[in-house]
Structures are given as C-alpha cells and as structure tokens.
C-alpha cells in the first residue's frame, strides 16, 4: 500500500499521550500528535496524518525522518536561524568600549562613526551605531553640560549657603 509508513514508534501510547499533554508550543504538539495518531492506528498513511494535522505530506516525512534518526528529542528540537551577522563585531565592540571608558570619550555618535571608519574600516549608519552603543552595549556618551560664559562658581556656592529651603 503506497504511503504506508514503515516508521517504528518506540514510545508507548501512554507515553505519547503524556508528552502530548505536556507540550507548550503548537509545533511540538503537532509533531507528537502525528506520532500518536500513527501509534494508535487511527490513520494508516502519511497522507492521512498530513490531512489530520494540517501539514504537507513532505513535512510529515521530514518529521518522521528526524524521529527515526534522533528519536523524540530530535523531533522536538526546533532549529533557529542565526540571522544576519552584526556589522560591528564583538572584537570591535570591546575596543569601542575601551575607547568609551577613557576620560575624553566621544562627544557624538557621528564621532563614533568617524572613528569606526578610520580605525576599523567599518562603515555603519548612524542608527546602527546608536542602537549598538546605547541599547546593546548600554553605554552613554561622555558629554558635559555646556557652561555659560557668565558662570561664576563662587556665586553659586554663596547662593547655596544663603538659600533657605521652605
């Protein structure tokens, strides 16, 4: 009979039922449900399982192949894509962190962009530099507040002495 699976399911019906109850994600639930349906004999072919679970036949075949090769653990592991590599690598971040720790530091994110281009040869947008420094590295730029031309520190201390807080 075409489509009949030759996969031997090693877990018992009770074990699969218990695993089915414990699943937290929908994808894991579907995978265990496919094994459970095959084990209890409710469906005979992979195509029937695919219809009941709501997935393509090829997807079910891939799941069963994963199960045959590495068991229930292999079936339940979900692979996550690593994503695009960061423009500013970890080594450059460490060097940038050292530069930020120095007393003069950087006055602006544009200055950091210029430093990255000159020293490391990395051309990154303002947004990338800002997000990396501010949110990923949790660093702040060392920019002192501007002091007025007429600022007098003695007058300030005298005012603080004579000021009565109500």
3-state secondary structure of 87: coil
CB burial string 61-96: b at 16+ within 10 A, e below? bebbebbeeeebeebbeeeeeeeeeeebeeebbebb
Q: At 45, phi and psi to the nearest 5?
A: -115, 165
Residue 1 clears pLDDT 50, i.e. is over it = no
Residues 68 and 114 in one domain: no
Please indicate, yes or no, whether residues 152 and 96 belong to a single structural domain of this protein.
yes
152 and 94 assigned to the same domain: yes
| Overall average pLDDT of the 18-39 stretch | 92
Domain presence at residue 142: yes
Using CA atoms, how far residue 68 sits from 64, 74, 115, 117, 118, in Å, is: 6, 9, 54, 51, 54
Who has greater pLDDT, 138 or 163? 138
Residues 117 and 143 in one domain: yes
Q: What number of residues does the chain have? A: 166
Q: Are residues 65 and 110 in the same domain?
A: no
Choose the weakest-confidence range: 11-20, 33-42, 73-82. 73-82
Q: How many folded domains does the chain comprise?
A: 2
- Cα–Cα distance, 2 to 45 (Å, whole number): 8
Flag whether 131 is in a domain: yes
Verify that 100 and 69 share a domain, yes or no: no
**Residue 83 belongs to a domain:** no
Note whether residue 165 is domain-resident: no
**Do the domain assignments include residue 147?**
yes
Domain contains 3: no
Which of 43-52, 77-86, 111-120 is predicted least confidently?
77-86
The two tokens of residue 29 are 């639930």
Are 136 and 98 contained in the same domain?
Answer: yes
Confirm whether 99 is domain-assigned: yes
| pLDDT tens for each residue of 108-118 | 899 999 999 99
Asked whether residue 84 is assigned to any structural domain, the reply reads: no
Q: Which domain holds residue 33?
A: 13-76
* Residues 119, 61 within the same domain: no
The percent of residues above 90 in pLDDT, for the chain, comes to: 51
């Amino acid at each position: 009979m075409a489509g009949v699976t030759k996969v031997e399911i090693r877990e018992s019906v009770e074990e699969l039922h218990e695993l089915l109850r414990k699943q937290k994600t929908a994808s894991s639930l579907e995978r265990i449900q496919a094994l459970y349906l095959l084990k209890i004999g409710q469906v005979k072919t992979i195509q029937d399982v695919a219809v009941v679970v709501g997935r393509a036949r090829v997807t079910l075949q891939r799941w069963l192949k994963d199960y045959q090769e590495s068991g229930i653990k292999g079936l339940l592991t979900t692979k996550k894509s690593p994503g695009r590599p960061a423009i500013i690598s970890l080594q450059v971040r460490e060097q940038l962190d050292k530069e930020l720790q120095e007393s003069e530091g950087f006055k602006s994110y544009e200055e950091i962009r210029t430093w990255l281009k000159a020293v490391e040869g990395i051309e990154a947008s303002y947004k990338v530099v800002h997000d990396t420094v501010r949110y990923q590295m949790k660093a702040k730029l060392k920019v002192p507040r501007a002091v007025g031309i007429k600022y007098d520190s003695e007058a300030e201390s005298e005012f603080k002495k004579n000021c009565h807080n109500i």
